[in-house]
A and B are shown apart, each in its own frame.
Chain A
Amino acid sequence: MKYLSIDQCDAFYGDQKVLECVSLDVDKGDVVSLIGPSGSGKSTLLRVLVGLNQPTSGRILLEGEAIDYKNRRSLKKARERFAIVFQQYNLFQNMTVLKNVTVAPVKIQGRPKKEVEAEAVLLLEKVGLGEKLKSYPDELSGGQQQRVAIARSLALKPEILLLDEVTSALDPELVTEVLDTIRLLAKEGRTMIIVSHEMGFVLEVSSKIAFMDAGRIIEVGEPRKILEQPDTDRAREFMGKILRH
């Protein structure tokens, strides 16, 4: 039985089909990277997993049990196990950095406030934001917001972490820092699905890479194979472009 299994999922935005028959298996402790051109459906796939876009057909199974996205209890249970870092961070604009990180663990998970806050401070220090606890998101740079979003997701202690281009707004120095954090999480055996354009990092940290194009996963496999000797022309063309950067 697979830990997480995406089984022939379709998804739409209005009339536009943005995911087509997407299947992907993830084992516990896997780090699966989603790569592919802009608009290929990477973010959508993550959104489908957490039920923000509902699959119109196909199933998603967690430890063999299908998530019923139409059923609130089932969806709630699934969401307890996932945490997502959005491409656009989506921090709560009305809350301080610290509150952003602690609000869900305290108010939703019902954990003791003191303990959560202490952990949150540590997490925020780890991502270099120890000085910004009392700031509001609109007082932070994109990169800083992105790191708050990462801390917010980690504070949830999720089983499965979904990271959507978490290094896109960071300067090179911070990229290293954030990637180190992710590396550490990978070592700790956290299951992750990562959307990233950092090919070097993807190669190093992933246990599996899926290449997406036009709403489909057209290749999936061992990292070196996908990056260096892809089977499809489309993937070859994409790698050619991206590696030349």
Chain B
Amino acid sequence: MWERIAEELPRFFTYYNVIFFLKAMFTTFLLSLVGCLLGSVMGGVLAVIKITKSNLLRPLRIAAVVYVEFFRRIPFLVTLLLIFFVFQALGLEVSVFTVAVVSVWIIATAFIAEIVRSGLEAVPKTQWEAAEVLNFNLRQTLKMVILPQAWKVILPPAFSFFVLFIKDTALASQIGVVELTYSAKVLNNKGFSAALAFGFVLLLYYTISYPLTKFGTWMEKKIEIS
């Protein structure tokens, strides 16, 4: 096997292939980043909706619960295909990349919502009460009292979710998104050995997720200090 890889190497790292891989890597990166960022924003909103108490927001609360419970339970591939066909059924001409981003967004929203909610609930009720009697509104309470205390509970599981989820974006290759896994398949089909093609892609996945893990730890430290 090693001999074969050694023999293939010079042909593998052609200018064209390297560009192809880098583009695919960028796609994986962008897909994860945009999907997870949007998911974090929406997830945060859902988490806040879920912890409200007012009767007026009850329908929203129920919708949030249903959403979170539903999308946390279906496999990512199913969501991906579902969104793909929904777009098709609606006659919307969007790229497969957009379909994938929306899918990541939808799933990340559900998971992040749960992570944020449990973070918010980890802050003692008495902190909410103290803010409430001082006439803080919900936004002020979250911003000034609750979130500063909840970050350290939210960040670790959030980052481990992001890191885990980068791997799942590989499934986007199933609907034809040219991301890392897809690019390995292409080169494998072109006759390069699977060990080389997928081995190299593995390295690139690592290049994306390792800095993210580091960034997460750095953020946690920073919050610990402040």
Contacts and interface: CB of A to CB of B under 8 A. Distances in A.
Chain A interface category by residue count:
20 to 34
Interface string A228-240: 0000000000000
Interface in A80-125: 80, 82-84, 86, 88, 90-94, 103-104, 107-108
Contacts of A83: 133
Given A94-B145, A107-B140, A52 B129 contact: yes
A50 interface: yes
A79 interface: yes
Given A103-B144, A107-B144, A93 B127 contact: yes
Nearest to B148: A94
Contacts of B149: 93-94
Contacts of A157: none
A76 interface: yes
A91 B135 contact: no
B129 A90 contact: yes
Contacts of B148: 94
Nearest to A91: B130
Contacts of A88: 126
Contacts of A86: 126, 129-130
A84 B133 contact: yes
Contacts of A103: 134, 144
B222 to A, nearest CB: 14
A52 B140 contact: no
Given A90-B126, A94-B145, A107-B144, A52 B135 contact: no
Contact of B133 (A52, A91, A94): A52
Which of A82, A91, A104 counts the most chain B CB atoms within 10 A?
Answer: A104
B133 A80 contact: no
Q: Chain B contact residues: over half helix, strand or loop, or mixed? A: helix
B168 interface: no
Interface string A43-59: 00000001110000000
A50 B135 contact: no
Contacts of A52: 129, 132-133
Contacts of A80: 135
Contacts of B67: none
B26 interface: no
A108 B149 CA distance: 20
Given A80-B135, A108-B135, A92 B140 contact: no
Which of A50, A84, A93, A94 counts the most chain B CB atoms within 10 A?
Answer: A94
A83 B129 CA distance: 12
A76 B134 CA distance: 9
B130 A90 contact: yes
A94 B145 CA distance: 7
Interface string B109-153: 000000000000000001101111111100010001100110000
A122 to B, nearest CB: 20
Nearest to A84: B133
Contacts of A79: 133-135
A105 to B, nearest CB: 9
Given A90-B130, A91-B130, A76 B135 contact: yes
A108 B136 contact: yes
B132 A90 contact: no
A104 B132 CA distance: 11
Interface of B: 126-127, 129-136, 140, 144-145, 148-149
14 contacts: A50-B133, A51-B132, A52-B132, A79-B134, A86-B129, A86-B130, A90-B129, A91-B130, A103-B134, A103-B144, A104-B134, A104-B136, A107-B140, A108-B140
Given A92-B131, A104-B135, 6 more contacts: A79-B134, A90-B126, A90-B130, A94-B145, A103-B134, A108-B136
Closest 8 CB pairs of A and B: A90-B130, A94-B148, A104-B134, A90-B126, A50-B133, A94-B149, A79-B135, A108-B135
